[in-house]
A and B are shown apart, each in its own frame.
Chain A
Amino acid sequence: MVRLTHWLTVIAFFALLVSGVEIAISHPRFYWGEVGNVMTTPLFTLHIPSSRDTVPTGYGFVMPDQNGWSRALHFQSAWALLLTGLVYGIYILGTGHLRKDLFPAPAQRTWRAFWQVIAKYLRRAPPDEAEAHSYNAVQRAAYLAVIFILFPLVIWTGLALSPAFDAAVPVAVNALGGRQSARTLHFLVTGSLILFLLAHVTMVSLAGFKSRMRAMITGRATLPPERP
Chain B
Amino acid sequence: MNNISRRKLFTAGLAATAGLGGLAVAARLARRYGLIPPDNGGVYGPGETLNYAAQRLLTSHSQAREFSRGMISKAPFANAVAPPDDRFKRLQAGGFSGWLLSLSDLKSLPIRSQITEVVCEEGWSYIAEWIGTPLADVLNQVGVLPQARYVAYYSADRNWWDSIDMSDALHPQTLLTWAMNDGDLPVGFGGPLRLRVPRQLGYKSVKYITGLTVTDSLKNLGNGLGSPGPEFGYSWYAGI
Whole-angstrom distance from the CB of A184 to the nearest CB of chain B?
Answer: 10
- Which of B63-71, B139-147, B214-222 forms contacts with chain A? B63-71
Asked if A164 and B125 make an inter-chain contact with CB atoms under 8 angstroms apart, the answer reads no
Whole-angstrom distance from the CB of A15 to the nearest CB of chain B?
Answer: 11
Asked if B65 and A167 make an inter-chain contact with CB atoms under 8 angstroms apart, the answer reads yes
Per-residue CB contact flags for chain A residues 132-170 toward chain B (1 = under 8 Å, else 0) read 000000000000000000000000000000111111101
Whole-angstrom distance from the CB of A66 to the nearest CB of chain B?
Answer: 9
Instruction: Known contacts A35-B125, A67-B234, A72-B235; decide if A164 and B62 are in contact (CB<8 Å).
Output: yes
Complex Cα distance A183/B80, Å?
A: 24
Per-residue CB contact flags for chain B residues 162-191 toward chain A (1 = under 8 Å, else 0) read 000000000000000000000000000000
Residue A45 lies at the interface, judged by CB distance under 8 Å to chain B: no
Contacts of A164 in B (CB 8 A): 55, 59, 62, 199-200, 239-240
Residue A38 lies at the interface, judged by CB distance under 8 Å to chain B: yes
Asked if A179 and B117 make an inter-chain contact with CB atoms under 8 angstroms apart, the answer reads yes
Complex Cα distance A23/B122, Å?
A: 7
Residue B110 lies at the interface, judged by CB distance under 8 Å to chain A: no
Interface of B is mostly: loop
Whole-angstrom distance from the CB of A64 to the nearest CB of chain B?
Answer: 12
Per-residue CB contact flags for chain B residues 100-140 toward chain A (1 = under 8 Å, else 0) read 00000000000000000101111111110000000000000
Contacts of A29 in B (CB 8 A): 123-124
Contacts of B47 in A (CB 8 A): 72-73, 75-76, 79
Which residue from chain B places its CB closest to the CB of A158 in the assembled complex? B240
Contact residues, B38-64 vs A (CB, 8 A):
43-44, 46-48, 50-51, 55, 58-59, 62-64
Of the residues A54, A67, A76, A183, contact of B46 by C-beta under 8 Å:
A76
Instruction: Known contacts A67-B122, A71-B234, A183-B123; decide if A163 and B58 are in contact (CB<8 Å).
Output: no
Of the residues A39, A79, A165, A173, contact of B75 by C-beta under 8 Å:
A39
Instruction: Known contacts A76-B46, A163-B119; decide if A39 and B240 are in contact (CB<8 Å).
Output: no
Residue B226 lies at the interface, judged by CB distance under 8 Å to chain A: no
Residue B22 lies at the interface, judged by CB distance under 8 Å to chain A: no
Instruction: Known contacts A35-B73, A39-B76, A167-B199; decide if A76 and B119 are in contact (CB<8 Å).
Output: no
Contact residues, B219-235 vs A (CB, 8 A):
229, 232-235
Whole-angstrom distance from the CB of B35 to the nearest CB of chain A?
Answer: 14
Residue A40 lies at the interface, judged by CB distance under 8 Å to chain B: yes
Taking each of B63, B65, B229, which has the highest tally of chain A beta carbons within 10 Å of its own beta carbon? Answer: B65
Complex Cα distance A37/B119, Å?
A: 10
Per-residue CB contact flags for chain A residues 16-54 toward chain B (1 = under 8 Å, else 0) read 000000011011010000111111100000000000101
Asked if A27 and B75 make an inter-chain contact with CB atoms under 8 angstroms apart, the answer reads no
Asked if B125 and A37 make an inter-chain contact with CB atoms under 8 angstroms apart, the answer reads yes
Contacts of A40 in B (CB 8 A): 73, 75
Complex Cα distance A174/B67, Å?
A: 11
Whole-angstrom distance from the CB of A49 to the nearest CB of chain B?
Answer: 14
Of the residues B59, B123, B198, contact of A26 by C-beta under 8 Å:
B123
Instruction: Known contacts A34-B67, A35-B73, A167-B63; decide if A71 and B235 are in contact (CB<8 Å).
Output: yes
Asked if B198 and A163 make an inter-chain contact with CB atoms under 8 angstroms apart, the answer reads yes
Contacts of A174 in B (CB 8 A): 65
Contacts of A35 in B (CB 8 A): 71, 73, 117, 125-127
30 of the cross-chain contacts (CB-CB < 8 Å) are A23-B122, A27-B123, A29-B123, A29-B124, A34-B67, A35-B117, A35-B127, A37-B120, A37-B124, A54-B77, A67-B121, A69-B233, A71-B233, A73-B47, A76-B46, A79-B51, A163-B64, A163-B198, A163-B200, A163-B201, A164-B199, A165-B55, A165-B59, A165-B239, A165-B240, A167-B59, A167-B63, A167-B199, A179-B117, A179-B119
The 5 A-B residue pairs with the shortest CB-CB distance, nearest first, are A68-B233, A164-B239, A76-B47, A168-B59, A72-B44
Question: Taking beta carbons and an 8 Å cutoff, which residues of A are in contact with B?
Answer: 23-24, 26-27, 29, 34-40, 52, 54, 67-73, 75-76, 79, 162-168, 170, 173-174, 179-180, 183
Question: Taking beta carbons and an 8 Å cutoff, which residues of B are in contact with A?
Answer: 43-44, 46-48, 50-51, 55, 58-59, 62-65, 67, 71, 73, 75-77, 79-80, 117, 119-127, 198-201, 229, 232-235, 239-240
